[in-house]
Amino acid sequence: MIAVLADVIYEDRAQQVTWRGVSIPDGGAFESFIGDNVASRLHDKEGKMQFESHLRGLAKTNFAQDNLKQILSATIPEERKWAIGEAFAEAYLESRHNITWPWNMERDKRSPKASLPGADLIGFEVLHKEHVRLVVGEVKTSSEANAPPGVMYGRGGMVHQIDNIASNPGLICKILNWLLFRCKDTENEHLFNVAVALYLESGNKAVTLFGILIRDTSPDQKDLKNRGAALAKVLQHPTICQLIAIYLPCTIPDLVDRVARCES
């Protein structure tokens, strides 16, 4: 489905950094992607089903079942623009770039200000069973008319955050510690072992970095071009970086509403 979901509008590269802009037309493919992929990740439907099933098994009486219904009905997902942007980016990369996400990070967001491991995206790029790369990335969502938007600049901007991931061993240690305990004794433990072994043998360089910019403006290569060229000057082989601007067929507030409707 992803092949017909988005059209590549521009694409370029500098050394090991590539950047591209993809435009998504409105229509059935987009609506299906929102309902089947984005909403599922945003609301962690798999985890929610497991959670509810386990608790129902503990409610042995009618009184307990009524109390459980009260708890479950009070769980109202908060539609946050940045959270929907992250879910959209994860769903896109999973479908288009063969990325495996071993853990839905929504499960760790106990509050809007929850402390997470220092990156928006953490997973594995599975090239084949014995060739797996660690994936770490950042996601920004912006309606700003300027190209590039302000979310690409400064200490809180995408470029600084990607550079920090690539060059900060302490941050990588935090990410790997978080990731190990979500892969241990699961089907993803092998992916973790292969990816981390490759990373260490490469001099802490074999990582695929993604920067995803969600936009509701007209496609403009200035969104990524200078930022991609800047990263190419600081990232070292075999680090790979891909910057992707995804241009929506609707406004970001409308995207929030469309995703919300998928739960109703």
Helix residue ranges, H only, 97-212? 158-167, 169-183, 189-201
DSSP state of 207: E
* Number of separate domains in the chain: 1
Domain boundaries, position 201: 2-263
* The pLDDT value given to residue 247: 97
Kindly state the average pLDDT of the residues 179-199.
93
- CA-CA-CA-CA dihedral for 93, 97, 101, 104, to nearest 10: 10
Q: How confident is the model at residue 74 (pLDDT cuts 50, 70, 90)?
A: low
Cα(105)–Cα(42) distance, integer angstroms = 9
Kindly state the average pLDDT of the residues 80-100.
86
* The pLDDT value given to residue 264: 53
Residue 71 has pLDDT above 80, yes or no: no
* The pLDDT value given to residue 57: 83
Euclidean distance between the first and the last CA atom of the chain, given in angstroms as a whole number = 24
Pairing of strands 121-128, 131-142: antiparallel
Query: The pTM is what?
Result: 0.84
49 SS3 class: helix
Which residues are within 8 A (CB) of 129 and not within 5 positions of it... i.e. 6 or more apart? 190, 194
- CA-CA-CA-CA dihedral for 33, 37, 43, 46, to nearest 10: 150
Structure tokens at 207: 């990582």
Residue 2 has pLDDT above 50, yes or no: no
